[in-house]
Amino acid sequence: MSPAQTAGHRAERPDDQPVLQVEDLTVAFPTEDGVVRAVRGMSYSVAPREVLGIVGESGSGKSVSSMAVMGLLPRSAQITGKILFRGEDVLRMSGRQQRGLRGRRVSMIFQDPMTAMNPVYTVGDQLAEAVRSHSAVPPRAAMQRAREMLDLVGIPQAEARLRAYPHEFSGGMRQRAMIAMAIINDPDVIIADEPTTALDVTVQAQVLDTLMSVKEAVGAAIVFITHDLGVIAQVADRTLVMYAGKPVEIGATAEVFREPLMPYTAGLLGSTPSAEGTRAGERLRPISGSPPSLISLPRGCPFGPRCPLVRDDCRASEPQLTRGGPAAPAGAGLPVVSADHLGACHHSDELLAADDPTRFFRAESEVTP
Ligand SMILES: Nc1ncnc2c1ncn2[C@@H]1O[C@H](COP(=O)(O)OP(=O)(O)OP(=O)(O)O)[C@@H](O)[C@H]1O
Ligand SMILES: [Mg+2]
């Protein structure tokens, strides 16, 4: 969409315009061993109040792509593409403009809150400072706002907790305080990078609930990064699957889980206990092998060496994101795939034709005829 179209669209229907658009983002890191191609062409958009889940194995580029959106990558990073907040390109902004955006229009929640909090200041001081760094609010009003935010994220005795230091909080409470910090300036987008991975299961569920309820309260969209499809199933409206620095599938979460277009997604579904795609009584099976080096990718599909459906054409060219299967109404007996469900595989139709797409990842002996 051209900037003119974007602007016109915004004037007509302000709530429909994506709050964040990432267009053909690439990130490379020159290193002594060669160039690490961490992100190799990533595009997505996030609508107001939408939750986009990003899932993929360790090293697939989830964090690097979101650090690019936040403008937090090291100087050595070579970045191309566009990152638009309500139509404005972050990569063309000055450092000062970027800082004005960060923590205000877009904020981030990390896996380990201790990396984002300063151990020598009280939680209240840090929250109040987050307010005052973006607007001229008197100290008492900023502290009042901090107290309201601790209330909102369900921290009991908020008044007293304002005077506590981060290390005096439990892991779950610290993560709630991080959520408070992330919403205190009413952002349009919150990027949550594995926000609950370090917590035990019960606390994880509580913190997820908190995040989802405050999202409604402040009206923010969320980009939710995780390696856990079970969590994605709970929170994400749409899901983007990353492999070797590229999105390999994107679509409405229910549809991605029901009719995966990319064997890697099917493999993830077959290896996740709580994912909807797992059939009752079925054995879980991790995908064998490991992702390729981002310094020297194999020719063709980067998932090819681990893929049970691999053929010669997969080794010849890397598949691009395309719509799989028939358009409306179903042809050839295959399920209908909606226009915004895309997968990067030369053989999506084989997955679509299977009753249980995870079966390709099971040994012959396990497959019931
Ligand atoms: N500063 C850097 N210099 C060189 N390579 C880097 C740098 N930062 C990240 N990388 C590489 O970029 C790739 C993508 O890393 P990223 O942290 O985005 O993965 P991830 O999907 O977030 O994984 P995880 O699930 O483990 O958090 C990895 O191969 C990583 O080693
Ligand atoms: Mg990461």
98 has a pLDDT exceeding 50? yes
Shortest-distance ligand to the CA of residue 64: 1
Q: Provide the 8-state DSSP code for 293.
A: P
Whether the CB of 240 sits within 6 Å of ligand 1? no
For CATH 3.40.50.300, list the domain ranges present in the chain.
Answer: 3-236
Q: Is 25 in the pocket of ligand 1 (CB under 6 A)?
A: no
Confidence of residue 364 (pLDDT cuts 50, 70, 90): low
pLDDT score for 44? 97
Ligand 2 centroid–CA 110 distance in Å is: 9
Cα–ligand 2 centroid distance for 128 (angstroms): 28
Computed over every residue of the chain, the mean pLDDT equals: 89
For atom 3 of ligand 1, which residue has the closest CA?
29
Residues 240/61, Cβ–Cβ less than 8 Å: no
Q: How far is the CA of 204 from the centre of ligand 2 (A)?
A: 18
Using only the alpha carbons of the chain, give its radius of gyration: 22
Instruction: Extract long-range pairs of 280-285: CB within 8 Å, 24+ residues apart.
Output: 282/358, 283/362, 283/366, 285/361, 285/362, 285/366
pLDDT at 3 (0 to 100): 41
Among the residue ranges 126-140, 144-158, 315-329, the one predicted with the least confidence is 315-329
- State which of 60, 79, 241 you would mutate to test the pocket of ligand 1, scoring each by most atoms of that ligand within 8 A of its C-beta: 60
Task: Evaluate if pTM is beyond 0.75.
Answer: yes
Measured from the Cα of 66, ligand 1's closest atom is: 18
Binned at pLDDT 50, 70 and 90, residue 92 comes out as: very high
CATH architecture of 3-236: 3-Layer(aba) Sandwich (3.40)
Average pLDDT score over residue span 335-360: 90
Q: Which residue blocks in the chain are alpha helix, DSSP H?
A: 3-12, 62-70, 95-101, 113-116, 123-132, 139-152, 158-161, 171-183, 201-218, 229-235, 253-258, 263-270, 312-316, 348-353
Which of the residue ranges 37-51, 102-116, 282-296 has the most confident prediction, judged by mean pLDDT?
A: 37-51
Q: Are 221 and 20 in contact (CB under 8 A)?
A: yes
- 256 Cβ below 6 A of ligand 1: no
pLDDT, tens only, 281-322: 566 788 999 999 999 999 999 999 999 999 999 999 999 999
pLDDT the model gives residue 274: 59
Comparing 6 with 258, the larger pLDDT belongs to 258
